Amino acid sequence: MIGEIERKKGAAGRLRFGIQLAAALVQNANFKGFFTGRIYQGPVKNVCVPGLNCYSCPGAIGACPLGSLQNFLGSRTFKFPYYVLGLLLFFGALLGRAVCGFLCPFGFIQELIHRIPFPKKKLRTFKGDKQLRYLKYLILAVFVIILPLVLTATPAFCKYICPAGTLEGGIPIVLLHGNKLNMKIGALFDLKMAILIAVIVLCLIIYRPFCRYICPLGAVYGLTNRVSLYHLSIDSARCVGCGTCSNTCPMAADPLHSPDSPECIRCGKCAGVCPTGAIDLGFRAGKSETAARKQTD
């Protein structure tokens, strides 16, 4: 039985890794841009990609949904962002936070960093972890919506916080166009580099710290987990309530009591370790219900 669980877990993990790698490569398929420093300017860039991928990355072939949203909200002649919100709702209603778990290149980078061995024990959760998770909603409201609306033409999240922009856009562009940009590099770049370094260091200790506490895109998709067609369900007839799923969840969510938790990135690790196979993930998974609720009924 344990051997079977391990085999299933390994196969599912490899499949997810393959999808994450392919998604990161496809969304950054302008490979020559990494050598020339010129960003892609073709027609595909009028489509927002589902995950966090800076459109100033030399490899990016699509637009960043958060950058595009802030651009609309901060426009001098305000335009309601029908197109960007429509795309976000589409990705959210279809996949929910599975976008984070499977398609987001910055989430993938964080997972790769987390695999690096760290001398001290890695943290799954800690005191204050739950409260800190609300920070991403505050950042969504303040930096993605309110500040761009108030300070015209200022994509505040991209400008002051986004470490994906620094890693995928800032560093390659500065390296490739250093001579032209040297004069402009100042306190802002230092601040963003400090945020990026802090995220990288935290990744060594905590699984996906940026997704857990900061990412406004994760906050948006988390809200759609309740309705997304791709979802997680628990067969209460097979669930024995052992809690292995909740103890295994790398995001420290609780699939047993809250299968539609906004923190669940649908990575499927819980389904892989369930000793009775009670957890199902997919578009055709059974009706989502908590085993605990069923027991109390």
Partner 1 sequence: MSRNKKGLICIAAAAVLITAGLLLKQNAAVLAKAIRVCLECIGVG
Non-local CB neighbours of 19 within 8 Å, separated by 6+ positions: 102, 103
Least Å distance, CB 64 to partner 1, is: 8
Helix (H), strand (E) at residue 231: strand 231-234
Output 75 or 248, the one with its CB closest to partner 1.
75
Rounded CA-CA distance 264/114 in Å is 18
Least Å distance, CB 90 to partner 1, is: 4
Q: Are the C-beta atoms of 250 and 207 separated by less than 8 Å?
A: yes
If you write DSSP's letter for every residue of 67-123 in order, what string do you get? HHHHHHHT-SS----HHHHHHHHHHHHHHTTHIIIII-HHHHHHHHHHTS--SSPPB
Output 48 or 206, the one with its CB closest to partner 1.
48
Least Å distance, CB 129 to partner 1, is: 28
Output 139 or 206, the one with its CB closest to partner 1.
139
Output 43 or 128, the one with its CB closest to partner 1.
43
Output 43 or 119, the one with its CB closest to partner 1.
43
Least Å distance, CB 210 to partner 1, is: 16
Q: Footprint of partner 1 on this chain (CB under 8 A)?
A: 39-41, 43, 45-48, 54-56, 60, 62-64, 67-68, 71-72, 75, 79, 81-87, 89-90, 92-94, 154-155, 158-159, 162, 165-166, 169-170, 173-174, 181, 184-186, 188-189, 191-193, 224, 226-229, 231, 287-288
Least Å distance, CB 98 to partner 1, is: 12
Helix (H), strand (E) at residue 294: helix 291-296
The amino acid sitting at 53 is N
Backbone angles phi, psi at 259, to 5 degrees: -65, -20
Output 79 or 122, the one with its CB closest to partner 1.
79
Least Å distance, CB 194 to partner 1, is: 10
Q: Are the C-beta atoms of 47 and 90 separated by less than 8 Å?
A: no
